[in-house]
């Protein structure tokens, strides 16, 4: 998959409705935000790796968000966005399914150890 994901945090306490998944869909990329127990949000930006590679400075990140996600800037904060965008690298999204879930009677794979899917499939703990 040529798409990657990058995590950005909203530190403002419940700047959006806390009981929902917030989604900003765009042409070849999207951003989602999920509420955390501490009333912040974890935001994940999904887009092709080549787009991540174009954003090398805080100003380029801010310009990108002003173009594609202008309503998210007040929620994250300009300075926070320019700084926090670079805290974690873009990650590859993979899909894995094991063909055997056990090793004789010694070990059993369960949950995410037995399969990994891209985050936007919505297959979390209850899948």
Question: How many residues are present in the chain?
Answer: 127
- Of 31, 38, 47, whose CA–CA distance to 12 is shortest? 38
Domain count, the chain: 2
Answer yes or no: do 28 and 45 share one domain: yes
Answer yes or no: do 74 and 107 share one domain: no
Answer yes or no: do 103 and 86 share one domain: no
User: What range defines the domain where residue 29 resides?
Assistant: 3-92
Answer yes or no: do 57 and 102 share one domain: no
Q: What is the pLDDT along the chain (127 residues), one digit of tens a residue?
A: 588 888 887 666 656 677 778 889 998 889 988 888 887 888 899 999 999 999 999 999 999 999 999 988 888 889 989 998 999 899 887 766 667 777 788 888 777 677 666 655 555 554 4
For residue 17, CA distances in Å to 21, 41, 58, 77 come to 9, 10, 28, 17
**Which pTM does this prediction carry?**
0.73
Answer yes or no: do 33 and 78 share one domain: yes
Tokens linked to 110 = 């369960």
Distance CA 68, CA 39 (A): 25
Answer yes or no: do 17 and 50 share one domain: yes
Answer yes or no: do 66 and 100 share one domain: no
Answer yes or no: do 52 and 67 share one domain: yes
């Amino acid at each position: 998959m040529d798409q990657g994901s990058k995590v950005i945090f909203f530190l403002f306490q419940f700047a959006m409705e806390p009981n929902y998944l917030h989604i900003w869909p765009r042409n070849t990329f999207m951003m989602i935000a999920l509420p955390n127990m501490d009333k912040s949000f974890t935001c994940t930006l999904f887009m092709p790796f080549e787009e991540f590679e174009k954003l090398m400075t805080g100003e380029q990140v801010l310009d990108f968000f002003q173009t594609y996600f202008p309503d998210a800037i007040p929620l994250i904060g300009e300075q926070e966005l320019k700084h926090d965008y670079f805290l974690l690298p873009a990650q590859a999204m993979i899909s894995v399914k094991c063909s055997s879930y056990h090793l004789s009677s010694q070990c059993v794979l369960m949950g995410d150890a037995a399969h990994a899917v891209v985050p936007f499939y919505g297959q979390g703990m209850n899948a």
